[in-house]
Amino acid sequence: MDSRIFKERSSVNDTRDRFLAAIKPLDRTENITICEGVGRVLATGILAPRNVPHYRRSAMDGYAVRSADIMGASPTNPVILQIGDGIDEGTCCPVGTGAYVPDDADAVLMTEDTICIGDMIEVRAQVHPGKNIGDIGEDVRKNEIIFNRGHLLRPCDVAVLASLGIREVKVYSRAVVAVIPTGNDLIPLDSSSEVPPPGKTLDINSLMIGLYVRQWGAQPRCCPIVPEDRELIKKAISENMDADFIVISGGTSVGEKDYVPDVLASMGEKLVHGVGLSPGKPTALGVIGEIPVLCMPGYPAAGLVALFAFGKPAIRKKGNIPQIPDITVKARLTGKINSREGYVSYARVILEGNTARPLMTAGAGILSSIAKSNGFVIIPENVEGYEEGNEVDVVLIE
């Protein structure tokens, strides 16, 4: 037994930078159909296998014409054309937006510039050759690079791939994230929905971490609860050396049985233990071989903050998924927020219209603070807090 305290305390930004720098994105790939593609990341660049359009295409609803036939046409000097199925001198052919423009036409006249009279039109404007016609390959040229390696596929991209006749793509595999809960007081969630015995806590962190991992594009692997025992923790980590990332929940504090950071140091490299993050100070981070390991506090609110601050960017980097900014909204504080000197503080707030009401989170009010808040105000280390009435950025809790 010892009475260690956190002698060092790393800054949040340094910690994140060091952790991310130690992470090598995975290079495992798989082929998937484009319909499964949303949220996946291309493992190869994509060249257009054909021209788009692959025919001369009308850019307007109107009439395909020979521009020479209507040269000089105007409202006061209209030209009459016959509507037909093909194009010949003095004839025209109705075309919708996107439709095939017959070979002998060299322009499309907008419907708005015509008056239709039976099977004839009165043309009230002239057009230049090429007007309102999309040439073959105008949009996408065959062999042009459409997407680069590393591109995160959106629904609109899937549609683009489909239009090029591409039905399968090679993407990076989802990072497998092993989630290891530790703690002698934990009992598995699925054991029962009854009230746990006094001193026993349901392991809700594994569920929460797993759901976020999935939301961030990776594949969670939820492992059994590990008692607070050095060898058993070591064994649990060893059994997951085939994973791409390990998150250990609990056992990071300076209590007598908090072996996790020591085990991490003995098996690989402990980069940081003790971060200027509030809540979330007892976070530890490191790597074992090529596997990043995030040891987060077992306290749900602290664990959640550590997961957002370090887990999200790290899991995304491991999985080759581009970082996306958080959703933030501006709001005016309806009360003061204090922060802890030397710490980046994640203050929980309730957004109500364009105001943010700080949640009083005295004591262990952690569960309810998560449930009731919808955003964080992130207070930098060098700021003492914010006053009532201050305009702040609120990061929505996803």
CB-nearer residue toward its own copies: 255 or 380: 255
Q: Is 125 in the site for its own copies (CB under 8 A)?
A: no
Q: Is 364 in the site for its own copies (CB under 8 A)?
A: yes
Binding residue for its own copies, selected from 195, 242, 353, 382, defined by CB under 8 A: 195
Binding residue for its own copies, selected from 71, 116, 360, 383, defined by CB under 8 A: 116
Q: Is 9 in the site for its own copies (CB under 8 A)?
A: no
Site residues for its own copies, 21-40, by CB under 8 A, read 35, 38
Least Å distance, CB 299 to its own copies, is 6
Least Å distance, CB 146 to its own copies, is 5
CB-nearer residue toward its own copies: 268 or 298: 298
Least Å distance, CB 155 to its own copies, is 3
Size of the site for its own copies (CB under 8 A): 94
Q: Which amino acid is at 291?
A: I
Euclidean distance between CA atoms 348 and 356, whole angstroms? 9
Say if residues 262 and 182 touch (Cβ distance below 8 Å): no
Euclidean distance between CA atoms 270 and 286, whole angstroms? 4
Q: Look up tokens 């204090």; give the residue.
A: 338
Q: Is 128 in the site for its own copies (CB under 8 A)?
A: no
Site residues for its own copies, 303-322, by CB under 8 A, read 304
φ, ψ at 4 (rounded to 5°): -55, 145
Picking from 43, 106, 16, the residue whose alpha carbon sits closest to that of residue 321 is: 43
Picking from 214, 170, 194, the residue whose alpha carbon sits closest to that of residue 316 is: 214
Binding residue for its own copies, selected from 67, 150, 185, 232, defined by CB under 8 A: 185
Pick the piece of the chain touching its own copies (CB under 8 A) from 194-202, 286-294, 312-320, 337-345.
194-202
Q: Is 382 in the site for its own copies (CB under 8 A)?
A: no
Q: Is 61 in the site for its own copies (CB under 8 A)?
A: yes
Binding residue for its own copies, selected from 11, 18, 29, 50, defined by CB under 8 A: 50
CB-nearer residue toward its own copies: 68 or 116: 116
CB-nearer residue toward its own copies: 136 or 290: 136
Pick the piece of the chain touching its own copies (CB under 8 A) from 64-72, 159-167, 271-279, 383-391.
159-167
Binding residue for its own copies, selected from 24, 28, 54, 235, defined by CB under 8 A: 54
Binding residue for its own copies, selected from 268, 300, 319, 375, defined by CB under 8 A: 300
Least Å distance, CB 11 to its own copies, is 21
Q: Is 96 in the site for its own copies (CB under 8 A)?
A: yes
Least Å distance, CB 211 to its own copies, is 3
Say if residues 13 and 121 touch (Cβ distance below 8 Å): no
Residue 182 pairs with which residues in a beta bridge? 226
Q: Is 376 in the site for its own copies (CB under 8 A)?
A: no
Q: Is 327 in the site for its own copies (CB under 8 A)?
A: yes
**Binding mask 200-229 vs its own copies (x if CB under 8 A, - otherwise)?**
xxx-xx-xx--xx-xx--------------
CB-nearer residue toward its own copies: 76 or 193: 193
Picking from 138, 127, 137, 47, the residue whose alpha carbon sits closest to that of residue 81 is: 127
Q: What's the chain's length in residues?
A: 398
Site residues for its own copies, 244-283, by CB under 8 A, read 253-258
Euclidean distance between CA atoms 317 and 362, whole angstroms? 35
